[in-house]
Chain A
Amino acid sequence: MPHPHPSHTHPHHADHEHGKPLIRFDHASFRYPHGPALEDITLEIADGEFVGVIGPNGSGKTTMLRAILGLMPPATGSLQIFDCACQNLRCHHRSRIGYLPQKRAVDPNFPITVREAVLMGRAGAIGLWKRPGKADLAIVRHALEDVGMEDYEDHPLGALSGGQQQRVFIARALAQHPQILLLDEPTTGIDTTTQHNVLDLIQRLHEELHLTIVLVSHDINLIAPLAERLALLKTRLYALGPAKQVLTKEILAQVYGPQILTTDTGHVIVADHHHN
């Protein structure tokens, strides 16, 4: 049973009233075979909230998203999504979480049109044994309209620019009719103007579709103005709260070391910064 499109249920919900918690980490730790990825995380994210996850490379930001997707059960502690233990996340629950993975190179020759790529977002909601129908194609079109890519439905995905591909992948996540949208470095690898377009789009989706957003970024300055709360990670959760509380010299120095600078305008400069 497809959910009604969120834009119809929550039109122009810009006032950020938050509902009950959708994501609940309770002293949760996550490990990879070679060592800990996240330690003792306690964090609640409410329905309709916009949380930015920041931290140095290798601090467990992507792991946090993978955990929310139910791809990594906690080694200790618990993680509940939609009141479901994450390791028991049923497939139909997963389809309520839209995910934009870290941008990887799309093989420019992979034979897939924009429509076919966005339609993949419907796979979980349609379920096994069934084929996509007219309703799914309408949802695909709607999702492409939401990201301003409706004129490219029949274009080969590989022929689009990096920013356009990113919009298409956001449309794919939207086609799931998600309640939660997880974005992993959505602005990496695209030019500055496009970066701001993509962030504006995310902000608009948050406000108009009332989506709960968890956005991971190494670029503190880009997401600080957007997110209602920031979670600063370095294996542990060092700070959580509005940007003003988190982005203090003392806290940042703890996590990034002495190479961090903050300007009077609240701008953060990390020296010796490596992207991935």
Chain B
Amino acid sequence: MVDFLTLGFFQRSLMAAALTGGVCAVIGVFVVLRGLAFIGAGIAHAAFAGVALAYLVGGPPMPFAIAFGLGTAWITGLLEEQGRMKLDVSIGIFYTATMALAILFIGLMKTYNAEVYGYLFGSILSVTADELKLTAGLATVVVGLLALFAKEFFFLAFDQEMAEASGVPARRFFFLLLTLVALTIVVSLKTVGAILVFALLLIPAATAYQLTSSLRRMMAYSVAIGVLVSVAGVLLSFQFDLPAGPAIVLLATGVFFLAVAFSPKRAPKPALS
């Protein structure tokens, strides 16, 4: 067992990067396959509004972020299910409304609070031992549940109605998936921030999608890419004194474009060697 307290800030941020990158990449596979990418963006902004409200009223940021994130996840999930409104429209409204709330809450604060902005842009280099524990605990829960119900979640991602018809309680799993997405995003706020967490959900999975025609391999590639770019991003930010979040995201984007260029699905060539 790693004793998080004895780690220096450098090891802590590397661990946080690996954990966040890994867990986002795992759940990102289902987000990409089930077409929930935009929901992820909505949840991230709602969670940030929760953090802003917490700072305004002097409450604890995490519970507020979880409440806002889960609320958005469930409501947009219900809207998608009922199909009353196009999903991009309903999420677009949520996305901007929660962002407006966040800006409103920040504006109402009497003093400038730099910590709030840490949740927007992430501050992986100042991750505390407690935050690292929380991230590790969440990663265990999310990965554990996804592994336990892998066949159900994959079926859901491929064809939800078919899954329901085959005797899988697909609707419950859909809401469980939304819940796990929301929790992943909330816990990643501190490390990569509300704006960039979305990239960690999307890019490793989307990159893996380019490289393989098998679900299992897509999962393996996605996790490998997520962990590697996150750790490499932190190392780069140390080496060249760059902000870590953008370093991670831009590195991931670079890998994504390489994957698109060399995708075996597009060209009759073998994948990256």
Contacts and interface: CB of A to CB of B under 8 A. Distances in A.
Interface of A: 69, 71, 91-95, 97, 99, 101, 109-113, 116-117, 119-121, 123-126, 128-129, 131-132, 156, 158-159, 176
A110 to B, nearest CB: 7
Interface of B is mostly: helix
Contact of A158 (B162, B213, B218): B213
A120 B212 contact: no
21 contacts: A69-B165, A71-B161, A71-B164, A71-B165, A94-B166, A99-B162, A101-B159, A109-B209, A109-B265, A111-B215, A112-B158, A116-B214, A116-B216, A120-B159, A121-B166, A123-B152, A124-B167, A126-B151, A128-B149, A128-B152, A132-B151
Q: Which of A94, A116, A132 has the most CB of B within 10 A?
A: A116
Contact of B168 (A93, A110, A123): A123
B154 interface: yes
Given A112-B158, A123-B152, A126-B151, A91 B215 contact: no
Given A92-B167, A110-B158, A123 B151 contact: yes
A120 B169 CA distance: 14
A124 B151 CA distance: 10
B158 A124 contact: no
A169 to B, nearest CB: 9
B57 to A, nearest CB: 40
Nearest to B221: A111
A125 B209 CA distance: 29
Interface in B139-189: 148-152, 154-155, 158-159, 161-169
Contacts of A101: 159, 161-162, 165
B86 interface: no
B33 interface: yes
A94 B209 contact: no
Nearest to B213: A156
Contact of A111 (B152, B162, B214): B214
A93 B168 CA distance: 11
B168 A111 contact: no
A121 B155 CA distance: 9
A112 B169 contact: no
Contacts of A159: 213
Given A110-B158, A112-B214, A158-B213, A123 B167 contact: yes
Contact of B213 (A93, A111, A123, A128): A111
B151 A111 contact: no
Nearest to B212: A111
B165 A123 contact: no
A124 B168 contact: yes
